[in-house]
Structure 1
């Protein structure tokens, strides 16, 4: 009987070990499954975060593109407005030129009795002034701003007392502005506002100075220039423009 008992005991022990092995395998598989589920969940979470980030980046890119488009549109509208204003002043200047006449010679004769007006300019000088002024203006119209600046600068030096000198000085400032040189543009327009303060170009020169001051980042100067236009030339079209610009600040 003893060998049988021993055999049964060995068989029972083997069964227990086999059952323990089964339990160990199932536990291992369960842990592997749990780990797999957790890993997949983590990957899914990371993938969702990446998708959200990509979506956010896409929205920001679209917003940047939209803002860039708006900036380009505003720049185009600004340049168009500047061009229209420039064309308007050029056209107005040309129209006014048609109505300008050189000062008439006085009837008084020279002491010698030659019939020559006293203090008269040499014959043909007003015509030369007009030709030189028109040539400089045509250079400006053709966007030859460097040449126009030289021509207008030469004109005001040559004919400082001409009736066209304030206009030439004003367009000299615009020629510098067109070359993106606001410092020289302000210098030129300041001559209009001081030496030719009573001319029709003076209020426009103040507006041009304000524009340059704005581009140079001088808001105090801009406000002062616009207020000067309104105070000194209240009935001028430039004063209305100055009021509108002040309201926008």
Structure 2
């Protein structure tokens, strides 16, 4: 009987062991699931925070871009207004200067140089003021209408037709401005250099030097621009261009 009782107790203990093991396995699984859920929730919270931070950064960047765009538009508008005022000023100045130059041109137009060979006098046709003036005005009207490409073509044709005309320095100067208005500083400098060399005594020469300095500055050659401004002060000290050069050199 004792042996039978012992066998029964051992069998019962053996039967209870899997149940206990199963209970332990369930608790461990639940614990692991809870840990995984906690970690998943933490990652979700972190991701949500990162997304929120990114959204805030995007919002700030958008606001900064909008502010910069507004500032750029304001600067462009001011530049356009400044260019228009400068253009109107030089056009008005050009008109005033031509009124003073006209009497001198009338007195010397068509007159051969004293002592020049007869063959040279015959080979050099006198400029026709009756045609020169309208052709110049036609080219200048293109510039006034902001048709800068057409203005460049017209002034180039004028210079080929009237290289020794009374209005040639003016036409060459506005040819340079027409190229500058098209943002072609290289051709603008080339055109204005003709004014500063071939027509160095013209009232347009100091303005041509100023235009060259502007192009050099925009091309990133500050040293060359400084030399051009200093040339204006040295060669044309008592001109409006010299006053403008002084102000620019101070900056």
Confirm or deny a common fold (TM above 0.5).
yes
TM-score range, shorter chain: 0.7 to 0.9
Aligned residue runs from structure 1 range 1-249, under 5 A: 1-2=1-2, 3-4=4-5, 6-11=7-12, 14-15=15-16, 17-103=18-104, 105=107, 125-248=128-251
Cα deviation 1:116-159 (Å, max 9, x = unaligned): xxx9xx99933433222222211221223333223323333443
1:6 Cα offset (Å): 4.5
Q: Which has the larger helix fraction? A: 2
Cα deviation 1:73-132 (Å, max 9, x = unaligned): 3223222211221122112222333444323659xxxxxxxxxxxx9xx99933433222
In the superposition, relative to structure 1, how do residues 203 and 38 fare at CA in structure 2: closer, same or farther (>3 Å)?
same
1:212 Cα offset (Å): 1.8
TM-score by length of 2: 0.78
In the superposition, relative to structure 1, how do residues 31 and 145 fare at CA in structure 2: closer, same or farther (>3 Å)?
closer
**Structure 1: 5+ residue runs without aligned partners?**
107-118
CA contact (8 A) 2:127 2:162 kept: no
Cα deviation 1:167-218 (Å, max 9, x = unaligned): 1111111122223332221111111111222222111101111122233332
1:7 Cα offset (Å): 4.1
CA contact (8 A) 1:214 1:222 kept: yes
CA RMSD of aligned residues (A): 3.0
Alignment size in residue pairs:
234
CA contact (8 A) 1:156 1:169 kept: yes
In the superposition, relative to structure 1, how do residues 123 and 68 fare at CA in structure 2: closer, same or farther (>3 Å)?
closer
TM-score by length of 1: 0.78
